Amino acid sequence: MQSPQFPAGQNGAQIPPAGYPGMAQAAQNQAQMSQMGQAAQMQQQMTMAQHQHQQQLQMQHMQQMQLQQQHQQQLQVKAQQAQAQAQAQAQAQQAQAQHHYQMQMHHQKMMMARMQQHQYPAQGQGYAPNGYSLPMQYPQGSMPQQSYHPHHHYPSPQYPSTGYPMG
């Protein structure tokens, strides 16, 4: 009877001289283990040295990072200052433009009021320009609202900008 583990014939030559096939493998394994043990010791020594070196590198890296951060902060501060300056300038220009516009509008209003006054010579008597003797009457509180600006010289309330005296 042939055992299925050791078939006779061609395969018989593969049987190791020690008597069973696992022995050579075991010897190989042992050799590998001792090599691995040495390698592990060397690796430990290496890692200690590497670890120290890595720590030094990390320290240097940290210092560099701090320097970069400081530099970045300085740049940010400069940028913020520049931005604030630009904003202030823009606001000043806007205020000037607004004031200029208000002055122009005021000038226009004044011119219009003068034109109306010149158009109707009869305004002193309180008559309408069409010749009918109907005094213009404003019920109390129904005067058209005007936006008020303290620096402008508005027509007096007795003669509103329509050119007629109040009833």
DSSP 104-116: HHHHHHHHHHHHH
Whole-angstrom distance, CA of residue 158 vs CA of residue 92? 37
Chain-centre distance of CA 15, in angstroms? 78
Radius of gyration of the chain from its Cα atoms, rounded to whole angstroms: 52
- Which candidate, 105, 113, 120, places its Cα nearest to that of 160? 113
Q: What is the mean pLDDT of the chain?
A: 70
User: Looking at this protein, which amino acid is placed at residue 138?
Assistant: Y
Q: What's the mean pLDDT in 23-32?
A: 68
Res 75 pLDDT > 60: yes
What's residue 38's pLDDT?
74
Average confidence (pLDDT) over 101-107: 87
Around 67, how many Cα atoms within 13 Å sit in the side-chain half-sphere?
Answer: 6
- Rounded to two decimals, the pTM is 0.24
Residues 112-119, mean pLDDT to the nearest whole number? 70
Please answer whether residues 155 and 161 qualify as being in contact, where contact means their C-beta atoms are separated by less than 8 angstroms. yes
Instruction: Tell me the residue type at 31.
Output: A
Question: What does each C-alpha distance from 62 to 39, 74, 76, 78 come to in angstroms?
Answer: 33, 18, 20, 24
Decide: 167 and 137 in contact? Cβ < 8 Å.
Answer: yes
**Whether the predicted pLDDT of 123 surpasses 50:** no
Q: How far is CA 39 from the centre of its chain?
A: 54
On the question of pLDDT at 140 being above 70, the answer is: no
Structure tokens at 6: 């050791």
